[in-house]
Amino acid sequence: MTVERTEEETVAFTVENGVAWVKFNRPEKRNCMSPKLNRQMKKVLEELEFRDDVQVLVLTGEGKAWSAGMDLQEYFRENEEKGLGAVRKAQRESYGWFERLRWYEKPTIAMINGWCFGGGYGPLFGCDIAIAAEDAQFGLSEINWGILPGGGASKVAQELMPFRKAMYHAMMGENLTGKQAEEQGLITEAVPADQLLARVTAIADVLKKKDGHALRATKWTMRRMVDMTYDNALDFQIRAQEALHSFGGAESRREATRQFLDEKSFKPGLGTFDTSKVTR
Ligand code: ACO
Distance 68 CA to ligand 1 centre (A): 6
pTM for the whole structure: 0.96
- Using the CB atoms, write b or e for 245-271: b if 16+ within 10 Å: eeebbeebbebbeebeeeeeeeeeeee
- The identity of residue 217, as a single letter, is A
**Looking at the predicted structure, is the pLDDT value of residue 120 above 80?**
yes
Coil, strand or helix at 18: coil
- In terms of phi and psi (left: phi > 0; alpha: psi -120 to 50; beta: otherwise), the region of 31 is left
* Position 1 in a domain: no
Ligand 1 atom with minimal separation from the 29 CA: 21
Mean pLDDT of the 122-127 span: 98
Ligand 1 atom with minimal separation from the 150 CA: 51
Domain tally, the chain:
2
What residues contact 215, with CB distance under 8 A and at least 6 apart?
106, 107, 207
Let me know: does 41 contact 11? Beta carbons within 8 Å.
yes
CA trace torsion 205, 210, 213, 217 (10° rounding) = -90
- Looking up residue 123, the CATH number of its domain turns out to be 3.90.226.10
Domain extent, residue 95, equals: 7-208
* Position 2 in a domain: no
My answer on whether 50 and 118 are in the same domain is yes
Per-residue pLDDT, 1: 65
Question: Which one of 32, 144, 154 would you pick to mutate in the ligand 1 pocket, going by the greatest count of ligand atoms within 8 A of its CB?
Answer: 32
Let me know: does 172 contact 143? Beta carbons within 8 Å.
yes
Ligand 1 atom with minimal separation from the 1 CA: 17
Mean pLDDT of the 16-44 span: 98
Distance 31 CA to ligand 1 centre (A): 9
What is the CB-side half-sphere exposure of residue 83 using CA atoms within 13 A? 1
Mean pLDDT of the 259-272 span: 94
My answer on whether 90 and 164 are in the same domain is yes
